[in-house]
Amino acid sequence: MRDNRHLLDELEISKLPVAYAWAMDSKDIELLMSVFAEGVEYDVSSLGFPPIVGKEAVRQFYLTQVFPREEASFSSISNIRIELRGDTAIGGDYFMHYGYHSTGSALPTITFGQHLYEFAKENGEWKIKSMKGRLTYQSAEAMNDSSGSGSRS
């Protein structure tokens, strides 16, 4: 049987991927940085980017590569799995991300995949120590409107 501390740790950790998704969609760089450990290893090489090490490098990546490319986005995180190992943990989730681009493309990008995590306590708080995105599907598709008007609401 799990004790209260174990359950509280799982709850705190499970909030990190959710905060990450909200930060992505709202382009809130401070909220985004709050989920990562100082020496975070961030790997979205499945999307064609090199792995990134360090919180400041992740900050610059989002400010220069991610946020400017999308006018709006919607991210959903589900099936969060956590395995506690004392003051560390591993886990994963499934994600869906819809990005509407400001680069002139009328087609939104639809991306599905998994995040794989390592979590650790830093100054008494749970943080993402390592995050790897594993892409399972990506497409740029026109939005279909059943009314035939072609507009997006």
User: Which residue bears the tokens 């943990």?
Assistant: 89
User: Which residue bears the tokens 């749970």?
Assistant: 126
Query: pLDDT tens for residues 43-99?
Result: 999 989 999 999 999 999 999 999 998 888 999 999 999 999 999 999 999 999 998
Mean pLDDT of the chain: 89
Q: Please provide the size of the chain in residues.
A: 153
* Residue-range domains of the chain with CATH: 4-140 (3.10.450.50)
- Please give the structure tokens belonging to residue 47: 């999307």
Task: Determine whether 110 is exposed, middle or buried from the number of CB atoms within 10 Å of its CB (0-12, 13-18, 19+).
Answer: middle
pTM confidence score: 0.86
pLDDT of residue 144: 55
- Please give the structure tokens belonging to residue 15: 């909030």
User: Which residue bears the tokens 């004790």?
Assistant: 3
- Please give the structure tokens belonging to residue 50: 């090199």
- Please give the structure tokens belonging to residue 49: 């980017």
